Chain A
Amino acid sequence: MAAPILLTESLNLFYGNFQALKNVNLSVAGRRITSIIGPSGCGKSTLLRVFNRMNDLVEGARVTGRVLLDGEDIYAPGTDLLSLRKKVGMVFQRPNPFPISVFENILFGLRVHQLAGKSKDRLREIVKESLESVLLWEDLKDRLNGLATNLSLEQQQRICIARLFVVRPEVLLMDEPCSALDPLATARIEELMQELKKNYTIVIVTHNMQQAARVSDDTGYMYLGELVEFGATQKIFTTPRDKRTEDYITGRAG
């Protein structure tokens, strides 16, 4: 296994008095897909939102322990949240393209980080590249000025993935990215993930065990805020060491 890109060390997270993550030690390897599975409300999404510090937006959320991205503690005082979120992109459960044009959705990241140059041709080039990488360019090249919110859900989710690329992130966090999509669209997004893993490190949260088994290289099982077991996906699904993992993946619990 390659050197970990993301690493948590005795990570605890509290919402007020409620402890949502309990002593989580996880290491995510670069250019692989790591999936986090487990029943609802067990801290999967919370863990994901630790990595881009989206939990900071929740009032009363408190973190102890360390979270290292490329060896740097992202919870160290003075961490630049904006550049952290540039490095660590996130795809949400419900596709959430902005209610502006497809073109501007893609360029949003460049604009907020003030990286957008002036040349219109160059911008179009960038939009083209990022839409091509999610296989939307052919479908949308004549509709770049249309509202992104009018597209199909699958296309919207692809836009949400594509808009991350323009700021060249290292890690893509996906929070149940297919839960609003039908099975065919899900299959196509999964295919896309295999393609993306060549260039990006992906962490995906899913409550769909088949999906985790299909797409990921490593899998972690979370239960009640604990990372119960973590390892190669194949091992987790065939020979889990922990009884709780076994109960969950065989459908006896959860």
Chain B
Amino acid sequence: MPSGRKLKEIFFETAIRASGVASIFIVGLIFFFLFKEGIMLFQTQKLSGFLFGKNWYPISEPGEFGILPLISGTILVTLGAAVLSVPLGIAAAIYIAEVAPPQSKEILKSGVELLAAIPSVVLGFIGIVTVVPWIKNTFHAPTGLTAFAGAVVLAFMAMPTIVSIAEDALYSVPKTYKEGAYALGATQWQTIWRVVLPAASSGIVAAVMLGIGRVVGETMAVMMVTGNSPSMPRGIFYPVRTLTATIAAEMGETVRGSDHYFSLFAIGIVLFVITFAVNMTADLVVHRKRK
């Protein structure tokens, strides 16, 4: 007969293992249902037509399910957000980790955390009342609801991720590297540029990738400010629609079991593949560097 302590041990071990297995199991189920529904689309549609078709007319008769405009919209918004948030985010991380005096460091860090805590719908709302009119007036666009507006708003969503992870990476660069550089007569900037950044590069790449992953998957804010136009984007100052926004906007009004319904799941698969690829790349970079 096992003692009370032993029983307790067994109980906790089982409970912890069950939690671990459950999380994998749930992810597996999500996979399963996503693929089960998404794959049905290809009973009537060709894969190439789906991925490379330029027309998204899901409710015409017969419907057209080309998601190239949506993929392009996502890429455009994501790249735009990356161009804005990566340099800013890394620069902010460098300032917080290396340059800022201790007091302002704390203030800045909590500021960044606060930015991360803003719900995306609120960011979208702020985007509508500030960014959108600003774009309309500044660039004399017919509407401010554009890919660029999405990029600006999403840049703010990616920033906290990039800043906090990049800052951790910079912070964990051994002090001895910096000492070595200073002892050779390097200035602070030379030390940062030539020693600290290369030493933290894998962490910074991971930060950028996770930030981009967040941008790709973001829905609410981007749906509010990009103008919801599922046509091939003509440029950054035109309305677009992303993959995520399409699912969110159309899921409510589709007939269950229709091609339209299945096509939204298929978009889900595409999104999943993209974010998976981004995360895998980040992982690979981090692990290759560690070796």
Contact = CB atoms under 8 A, between A and B. Distances in A.
Interface stretch (B9-17, B80-88, B172-180, B255-263): B172-180
B176 A85 contact: no
A46 B176 CA distance: 16
A92 interface: yes
Contacts of B110: none
A92 B185 contact: no
A99 B199 CA distance: 6
Interface stretch (A1-9, A159-167, A188-196, A236-244): A159-167
A107 to B, nearest CB: 10
B179 A54 contact: yes
Nearest to A114: B190
Nearest to B195: A98
A96 B174 contact: yes
B182 interface: yes
Nearest to B189: A112
Interface residues of A, number: 27
A85 B183 contact: yes
A94 interface: yes
B184 interface: yes
B187 interface: yes
Nearest to A150: B291
A52 B183 contact: yes
Contact of B181 (A52, A89, A108, A167): A108
A83 interface: yes
A109 B195 CA distance: 12
B185 A109 contact: yes
B182 A54 contact: yes
B184 A92 contact: no
Contacts of A163: 184
Q: Give the interface centre of A52, A100, A112 by most chain B CB atoms within 10 Å.
A: A112
Nearest to B180: A96
A98 B185 contact: no
Interface in A71-92: 81-86, 89-90, 92
Interface in B186-201: 186-187, 190, 194-195, 198-199
A57 B194 CA distance: 19
B184 A57 contact: no
Contacts of A160: 180
B185 A112 contact: yes
B185 A54 contact: no
B169 to A, nearest CB: 12
A94 B176 contact: yes
Contacts of B198: 98-100
B179 A112 contact: no
Interface string B195-211: 10011000000000000
A112 B183 CA distance: 11
A38 B180 CA distance: 24
Contacts of A167: 184-185
A54 B176 contact: no
Contact of B185 (A83, A96, A97): A83
A98 B194 CA distance: 9
A96 B190 contact: no
A98 B181 contact: yes
Contacts of A90: 183
Contacts of B186: 82, 108, 112
Contacts of B182: 54, 57, 85
A230 B187 CA distance: 35
Given A57-B179, A96-B179, 14 more contacts: A85-B182, A89-B183, A92-B180, A98-B195, A99-B195, A100-B195, A108-B181, A108-B184, A108-B186, A111-B190, A111-B194, A112-B186, A112-B187, A167-B185
24 contacts: A52-B183, A54-B183, A57-B179, A83-B185, A84-B185, A90-B183, A92-B179, A96-B174, A96-B176, A96-B177, A96-B179, A98-B177, A98-B180, A98-B194, A98-B198, A99-B177, A108-B194, A109-B184, A111-B190, A112-B184, A112-B190, A163-B184, A164-B184, A167-B185
Interface of A: 52, 54, 57, 81-86, 89-90, 92, 94, 96-100, 108-109, 111-113, 160, 163-164, 167
**Which 3 interchain pairs have the tightest Cβ spacing?**
A85-B185, A96-B176, A90-B183
